Amino acid sequence: MQYLLRNKWAPCVEFEFPANSYAVSSTQEYGCDSRSASGFYANRYWSMWKLPMYGATDADMVLAECKKCIKAFPNAFVRLAGFNSLRQVQCVSFLVHRPAGSEAMAVNQRQVQG
């Protein structure tokens, strides 16, 4: 979290319920021709807890917002994303809460293996 703040990226807390939390290739779910929809993945956008925390400098404040989101949605995945407001891109995101009963996805089931 400190890395995110040191780079002056705006923290944003996001959540999604397990049924829609994993990105699905468009060819798997929608039957789209991958040549015309290259790089499209369903479920890649999650709901924002609040607006991005522009100007945040305190990791404890960001952590408090993560905890509030988890308390409000204990059965949802919660992630923290960092946005570069100048370039208008997401630079980092990581999971901060996995709901009870949700196991980590096996490596051979992920879209990207490495």
Report the alpha-carbon distance of residue 80 to residue 102 in Å, rounded.
18
Give the residue ranges of DSSP H helices in the chain. 2-6, 26-29, 59-72
Domain range enclosing 63? 2-109
Question: Phi and psi (nearest 5°) for 92?
Answer: -155, 150
Any idea what the CATH number is for the domain that residue 85 is in? Answer: 3.30.190.10
The total number of structural domains in the chain stands at 1
Q: Is residue 103 part of a domain?
A: yes
Please tell me whether the overall predicted TM-score, pTM, comes out greater than 0.85 for this model: no
Report the alpha-carbon distance of residue 91 to residue 99 in Å, rounded.
24
What tens digit of pLDDT does each residue of 26-69 get?
A: 555 555 555 555 555 555 678 899 999 998 999 999 999 999 99
What tens digit of pLDDT does each residue of 63-105 get?
A: 999 999 999 999 999 999 999 988 888 899 899 999 988 776 6
What 3-state class would DSSP assign to 99?
Answer: coil
Are the CB atoms for 25 and 111 separated by under 8 Å? yes
